[in-house]
Structure 1
Amino acid sequence: MKSSRRTFLITSIGVASTFALSRQAFADAPKVAETDPTAQALGYKTDASKVDKAKFAKYVAGQDCGNCSFYQGKPTDAYAGCPMFAGKQVASTGWCSAYNKKA
């Protein structure tokens, strides 16, 4: 029994430290610029209230990255990852045309 407990503890510590390191590495990831080619293609704005509603009729007030299903952080995080912008962070107050309301 001691052996499996020891294995569990060692594995848990390893997983926790890997998670902490990867979270820190992502926290240092660059933020998406509105001039980024992918950002321009998706109509990304760091401030959702500045979305061109004529160009992106799908946009509705209240939609932002923080309540999008693709946002990889908590809604209260200022910036977090998004699979639309691999390796970069988006603003929780931002918006792009890939927006999908979180369930």
Structure 2
Amino acid sequence: MTQSNQRRIFLMTLASGVAGVSTLAQAQALVDEKDPQAATLGYVADAKRVDTKKFPKYAAGQVCSNCALYKGKATDKAAGCPLFGTKLVQGAGWCNAWAKKA
């Protein structure tokens, strides 16, 4: 193998690794409370800040980590939620779609 081919293979390998890291980083992004979907659902990263006048359904103790939609373990700091695609929600967060986990 020539030095030129070795460099080419190295650069292609490096580029594919960087693309993989970029995809992983995007998949691990947290939901922004200002995101239109989050705002519509009243999502807050900390359930202690829920506007109870606007969302009277909220009850103390309701957090993402004990919601039926939360895709992580109850002890996970953040995990996926089907309502927000590939973004993660905070375990201590809350939104108006909260449903008791069975």
- Could you state the TM-score of these two structures normalised by the residue count of structure 1? 0.73
2-side partners of 1:55 and 1:93: how far apart? 19
2:89 maps to 1:90 = yes
Which residue matches 2:33? 34
5+ residue gaps, structure 2, are: 1-23
Question: Structure 1 stretches of 5 or more lacking a match?
Answer: 1-24
Q: Quick one: distance in 2 between partners of 1:83 and 1:56?
A: 21
Instruction: Return structure 1 stretches of 4+ with deviation > 6 angstroms.
Output: none
1:71 is the counterpart of 2:70: yes
CA displacement at 1:27 relative to structure 2: 9.2
Q: Read off the aligned partner of 1:67 and give its amino acid letter.
A: N
SS at match of 2:40: helix
- The aligned amino acid for 1:82 is C
Q: Supply the distance in 2 between the matched residues of 1:64 and 1:35 (Cα, whole angstroms).
A: 19
> Separation in 2 of the partners of 1:26 and 1:94?
21
Structure 1 letter corresponding to 2:75: T
What are the Cα deviations for residues 15-59 of structure 1, in whole angstroms up to 9, with x where unaligned?
Answer: xxxxxxxxxx48952100101110000000000010000000000
Displacement of 1:81 in angstroms is 0.1
1:100 aligns with 2:92: no
What is the letter of the counterpart of residue 33 of structure 2?
E
- Conservation of the 8 A alpha-carbon contact between 1:32 and 1:88: yes
What is residue 79 of structure 2 aligned with on the other side?
80
Q: CA-atom RMSD, angstroms?
A: 1.8
Distance 1:57 1:26 in 2: 35
The number of aligned residues is 80
Structure whose alpha-carbon radius of gyration is higher: 2
- Which sits farther off after the overlay, 78-87 or 25-34? 25-34
